[in-house]
């Protein structure tokens, strides 16, 4: 009889303790544990960037509205814009597309599956400014990287204005 009573108290104690622990384990009583930076959503070097949250708009405003086609070029192709475009092209595009946009950049020989487009050809030049802008913004899937993170909206239009001069340069 004494043994039973002792057992009863042991089980009661264990049960109570477990019950109290459960309150915390199942967040009935929520404890704000210190959180660690390394367990937040993040991406590591060479990982694809996290997708943009749904229904969010970049700080610069939406560059193009889906379903409304390519945007209009708001930046006049004046000397300043073309000069800036040339500089930005040299930094962001030349290694693939070549100094004159002919598709013969330094790393072009190493791109095995798809060669960079020759930007002087009608197949590119006949596209609208907006279409070129979207190519820079979104890249070409599995072929050319999206450069929207490297170039601001204004800078992308400058590059587009510069691409237009490549056409005139070829006979």
Question: Is 144 among the residues that bind ligand HEC (CB under 6 A)?
Answer: yes
C-alpha 163/C-alpha 102 separation (Å) is: 11
* Phi, psi (degrees; rounded to nearest 5) at 151: -125, 135
Question: Shortest approach of ligand HEC to residue 158 CB, angstroms?
Answer: 10
Stretch touching ligand HEC by CB under 6 A, among 10-18, 50-58, 60-68, 133-141 = 133-141
What is each CA distance from 10 to 15, 18, 19, 22, in whole angstroms?
Answer: 8, 12, 14, 18
119 makes contact with ligand HEC (CB under 6 A): yes
What residue number has its CB nearest to ligand HEC? 93
Angle (nearest 5°) at CA 132 between 131 and 134: 65
132 binds ligand HEC, rule: CB under 6 A: yes
Q: Which member of 75, 134, 136, 153 binds ligand HEC (CB under 6 A)?
A: 136
Strands (E), the chain: none
CA 28 to chain centre: 39
Binding mask 4-33 for ligand HEC (x = CB under 6 A): ------------------------------
Give the shortest CB-127-to-ligand HEC separation in angstroms: 7
- Binding segment for ligand HEC (CB under 6 A), chosen from 2-10, 52-60, 69-77, 89-97, is 89-97
Q: By CB under 6 A, name the binding residues for ligand HEC.
A: 92-93, 95-97, 111, 114-117, 119, 124, 132, 135-136, 140, 143-145, 147, 159, 163
């Amino acid at each position: 009889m004494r043994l039973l009573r002792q057992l009863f108290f042991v089980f009661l104690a264990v049960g109570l303790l477990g019950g109290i622990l459960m309150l915390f384990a199942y967040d009935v009583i929520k404890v704000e544990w210190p959180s660690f930076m390394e367990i937040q959503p993040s991406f590591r070097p060479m990982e694809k960037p996290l997708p943009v949250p749904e229904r969010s708009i970049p700080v610069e405003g939406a560059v193009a509205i889906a379903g409304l086609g390519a945007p209009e070029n708001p930046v006049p192709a004046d000397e300043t814009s073309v000069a800036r475009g040339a500089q930005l092209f040299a930094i962001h595009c030349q290694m693939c597309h070549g100094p004159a946009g002919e598709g013969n950049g330094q790393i072009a020989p190493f791109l095995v599956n798809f060669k960079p487009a020759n930007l002087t050809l009608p197949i590119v030049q006949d596209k609208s400014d907006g279409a070129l802008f979207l190519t820079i913004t979104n890249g070409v899937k599995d072929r050319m990287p999206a450069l929207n993170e490297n170039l601001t909206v204004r800078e992308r239009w400058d590059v587009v204005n510069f691409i237009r001069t490549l056409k005139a340069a070829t006979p």
